[in-house]
Amino acid sequence: MAKPNVISKDDLIKFAKECLVNKGIEKFTLRAVAETAGVTQGTIYYHFKTKEQLLLDIVQNICETSWQEISQRNEYVIEQAITSAKSRCSYDSFFHKLFLSLVASSFNNEKIRNQLGEIIMRENKALTENLSNFWAKSPIEGVSLETWAILLNAIVDGMALQASLQKDFPVEKTYKEFEQLINGLNTLVSKEGD
């Protein structure tokens, strides 16, 4: 029996994630989400006009949840961010399959492209703010904290892209060495502060 139309958008996003994980991107439809949530298709259409919009809201929800968790903790933020990113870095990563599918579709859909760009800008801003909590200034003169945020975000996204294309991508080794890179940058900042 269908649930009444008093279901929140956030609850629908949770059901949509469940539907996507269980059915895969190929069988992910607004009808399938409605069935998973036990609501009418009209309820889904009330909150999400298209499948692409729902997928975009899922990605945005995942990004916001991840950054909220990281931003709530003052110590070890960088380590937690790395751990969170590493947990999503795999050949079968649901998040990155979804994100990369949206990136591909955005080349022909300016609205999705703009919204993905906004998500990435917010990630970069959150990362810049977190870096400024640890680094009074950049570890390397002439490279701003904003640029460090963009570079670190791009490194994480690049590793995820490679892992989604290579079954044998060395996730553990690469992330361990990425942490060493971050620790090396932290050491540079500490030495300059002495």
pTM, rounded to two decimals: 0.76
Residue 167 DSSP code: T
**Tokens of residue 157, six digits:** 């996204």
Tell the CATH superfamily of the 52-193 domain.
Tetracycline Repressor, domain 2 (1.10.357.10)
* Residue entry with tokens 């945020």: 149
Q: Which residues contact 85 (CB under 8 A, 6 or more apart)?
A: 156, 159, 160, 175
Higher pLDDT, 112 or 152: 152
Domain with CATH 1.10.10 in the chain: 1-49
User: Given pLDDT bands bounded at 50, 70 and 90, which one contains residue 1?
Assistant: very low
Task: For residue range 105-125, list pLDDT tens digits in order.
Answer: 788 888 888 888 888 898 899
Mean pLDDT over residues 159-186, rounded?
A: 94
Q: How far is CA 125 from CA 26, 122, 138, 186, 190, in A?
A: 33, 5, 15, 19, 23
Domain with CATH 1.10.357.10 in the chain: 52-193
pLDDT of residue 70: 57
- Provide CATH code, domain 1-49: 1.10.10
User: Given pLDDT bands bounded at 50, 70 and 90, which one contains residue 14?
Assistant: very high
